[in-house]
Structure 1
Amino acid sequence: MRAAEKEKGKKDLSLLGVDDFEKRGFKIHDANHQPLTGFDALLAVTDLASQFLLEEEEEEEEEQRQKRLMREKALKRPVMKKKSFLDDDKEWFQKDYSRFKKKILRSSINDKVHEMPENMRKLIDSMNGNNIMIVIQKNLYFTDTNEHYHRMSIPEKQIRSADFLTQEEKEWVNNEGGEMTPLFIQPSLAVSELVFKRWAMAKGDSNKCSYVYVLTCGWNDVISANHLKQGDKVQLWSFRINHQLCLALSRVAANHHHHGS
C-alpha cells in the first residue's frame, strides 16, 4: 500500500464523534448525564487514540496476512515472512511494523516483571494456592480508574502467560461468552470476588471487532479501597486453589517503577 493510501485509511482524531467513543465502550457523560470535564475528556481522547493504534495494527497485520496468502497461491509455495521474537510475551511481530507502533506495545511487553510481594505470596501459600503466573503488568489507564467504566482492561496482546487459563476455561470465556467469578486478592490483601470475562469492542464503522479481557462487577470497590489511580503500575497474577482459577493484584512500588526497567 502506498503512503498516501495508508494516510487515507487512518482515523482522523481531529474529527472524533460521539459514535467513536460509544462504540468502544467509552462513556462521555457522568452518572448525572452531564458531559465530562475538559480534563477528563482529554484523558478519554488519549485512551481512545491508544485503542485506534491497536486497531490499526490489527488491520495492518490482517492485510499483510492476506497478501502473503495471495503470493503463496500464485507461487504454489509458502512465502516466509520476516519476524522478530519478543521473549517476554511469546509473540511474533513483523519487522516491517513502524517503530512508533512497536514502541507503544513494547513499552508494557518489555517492561521488567517484578517479583510478587512476599506478603501476598505467603497469603497464597496459606490458602494452599499453587501454579502462580504473571498475567499482565501495566499502568492503569483513565478508563481503568474512572468509576463510569467500572472495569480493568487486560489487552490480549499484553498478556505474559498465555496458559493462565485452561483450555476449557478459554473455550467457555472466548467462544461461549461465559464469565468467571474467581477469588481475588487485592493489593491490601483483602479477599473478594470479581467477574472475569471477555468483551468484544467494535472497530469504528466496520463489522470487525477486537477483544479484551476485563475485571468488572466490584472493580470500583477495589479502586476505592486500595486508592488506585491513573498511572499506577500494577501486576495481575493467576494461581490455583484445588484447580480453580484465582487472581491477585499487586502494585509495583514507585522506586521499582523508576529504576526497575
Structure 2
Amino acid sequence: MKRPLVESEEEKQSTQLKKRKKYDSGSTSKSPVPPREAPLWLLNMMREMNGYEPKLVIEKTLFKSDINRTLGRLAMPTNHVVEKDFLTATEERMIDEKCRLKTSDVDVVAVLVDPLHRKWNVVLRRWDMAKDSGNCSSIFVFVKLPLRFSSSSLAECKRRMKRPLCKRRMKRPLVESEEEKQSTQLKKRKKYDSGSTSKSPVPPREAPLWLLNMMREMNGYEPKLVIEKNLFKSDINRNLGRLAMPTNHVVEKDFLTATEERMIDEKCRLKTSDVDVVAGLVDPLHRKWNVVLRRWDMAKDSGNCSSIFVFVSTWNSIVDANGFKEGDPIELWSFRSQGRLCFAFVPPRRSSLCSGQCSSAL
C-alpha cells in the first residue's frame, strides 16, 4: 500500500482535485453526458400522444447487419446508450428475465413512431455475449422490426424533418400561453354549443325504467350507455359469431375499469394470452348469458389503426333467442353487479322476442 489506510483532510482534498481536473480535461467517452433537448418535431408529436419524459437513447450509424433482412434486428450496444434510465424497474426486470431464461414468454413490447406519424410495435430485448477474455458485452435489440422500416423510409423521414415547420403536421407549440389556452377552450365551447353531434361530447343518457328495475333486482349500479347501432349482416352471420362495436362509436367510454382495460389490451397484443374479460349480458325478459369482451385492432393501408370491441363466445345463441335481423336497432348498456361487469340491451320489439332459451346463467 502506497498510502495510509486513513487519509488526512489535505490528502482527501488533493485526491478530489485530481479527479475533478481529470474529469474537466478528460475523455468525452467516459464523462457523463448532459441531457439533450428534445427536437421540436418530437415535442409536438408527444403533445398529440399525451407523451412525457423524452430521453435520448442512442445516436448511431446503421451497419450492414442492422438492415439485413435475414437478421431483422437493430443493435444498440448498452455502453453507447446515452440516458440509461429510459426503462422502468419493471421493464428492466422483464428484459433481464427474458435474457437469462431464454424460454420466458415475457417481453417488453414498445411503440416505435417516426416523424411521418407511422407507428409500429417492436420487441425490446437484451443480448449478453461472452468474450474470449472472459468479460461480457451486452446490446439492446429491436426484434420483429416491420419490413416497412427500411433505409428508404428513414430517408423520407429525414426529408420530412428538414421541411419548414408550417408544412408539417405539427401546428402548435408544445407549451401554450394562457391566452392561447383560453382561445382554444372558447372555440371548443362554441363548437359544442352550435356544432356537430358526431364530434361534440354526449351528455349522459338516463337509463330506461326496465333497466333500472332489473338493476334493483340484481343490486346493480352505474348504468352507462355503451352504443346505439343498427345490426349489420356481419353481426348476425353465424360463421363469424360476434357483435362488432367500433370504439369510436362508443358513447360513454369509461364503462371499463382500469383492470379490465389492461386485460383486454393484453389479450389484444399477446394473442395467445388466456386472460379474458367475461361479462354478463341480460335482456328485458331477464334471460342471461355470459359473453367474452375483446378488442380487435385492424391496420389500414394508410398506416393508421382502427379498433372495435366484440362480443364473442355465445353471440349466436343471443341472436337466435332474440330473433335479430339485419338492420335491427339495438341499445347496449353496461352496469355493475357486485363489482362484476354486466351488459343489458334493448332488442327490437317483435313477437319472436319471447322465443328461445337462456344458454347460460350469470
Q: Report TM bin, short chain.
A: 0.5 to 0.7
> 1:82-231 to 2 correspondence within 5 Å?
106=198, 116-177=207-268, 178-204=275-301, 208-231=304-327
Matched to 1:162, the amino acid is K
* CA distance 1:233–1:68, shift in 2 (3 Å): same
Distance in 2, Cα, partners of 1:252 & 1:113: 22
What is the root-mean-square deviation of aligned Cα atoms in Å? 3.8
SS at match of 1:153: strand
- Per the normalisation by structure 1, the TM-score is 0.54
Q: Is the 8 A contact 2:220 2:337 kept in 1?
A: yes
Distance in 1, Cα, partners of 2:338 & 2:313: 24
Which one of 332, 338, 346 corresponds to residue 250 of structure 1?
A: 346
1:221-261 Cα distance to aligned partner (Å, 9 max, x none): 1011101111111111111112111111112559xxxxxxx
Distance in 1, Cα, partners of 2:202 & 2:223: 19
SS at match of 1:165: coil
Q: Is the 8 A contact 1:198 1:212 kept in 2?
A: yes
Distance in 2, Cα, partners of 1:184 & 1:225: 13
1:141-177 Cα distance to aligned partner (Å, 9 max, x none): 1111221221111111111111111122112212453
SS at match of 2:235: helix
Distance in 2, Cα, partners of 1:185 & 1:250: 9
- Same amino acid, percent of matched pairs: 27
> 1:67-86 to 2 correspondence within 5 Å?
67-69=168-170, 71-72=171-172
Distance in 2, Cα, partners of 1:143 & 1:128: 34
Q: Unpaired segments of 5 or more residues in structure 2?
A: 1-116, 120-166, 269-274, 351-362
Distance in 1, Cα, partners of 2:211 & 2:296: 29
Matched to 2:198, the amino acid is R
How many residues were matched structurally?
Answer: 172
The structural deviation recorded for 1:179 is 2.5
* CA distance 1:253–1:225, shift in 2 (3 Å): closer
* CA distance 1:117–1:234, shift in 2 (3 Å): same
* CA distance 1:72–1:133, shift in 2 (3 Å): closer
The structural deviation recorded for 1:113 is 8.8
Aligned to 1:15: none
1:159-198 Cα distance to aligned partner (Å, 9 max, x none): 1111111122112212453531111103432011011010
Matched to 1:154, the amino acid is M
Q: Which has the larger radius of gyration?
A: 2
Q: Is the 8 A contact 1:181 1:194 kept in 2?
A: yes
Runs of 4+ in 1 over 4 A off after TM superposition: 76-87, 109-117
Aligned to 1:56: none
* CA distance 1:122–1:168, shift in 2 (3 Å): same
* CA distance 1:143–1:115, shift in 2 (3 Å): farther
Q: Unpaired segments of 5 or more residues in structure 1?
A: 1-59, 88-94, 96-101, 255-261
Distance in 2, Cα, partners of 1:230 & 1:192: 21
Instruction: Give the number of the structure with larger relative contact order, counting CA–CA contacts within 8 Å between residues 6 or more apart.
Output: 1
Query: As a proportion of its length, which structure holds more helix?
Result: 1
Matched to 2:220, the amino acid is G
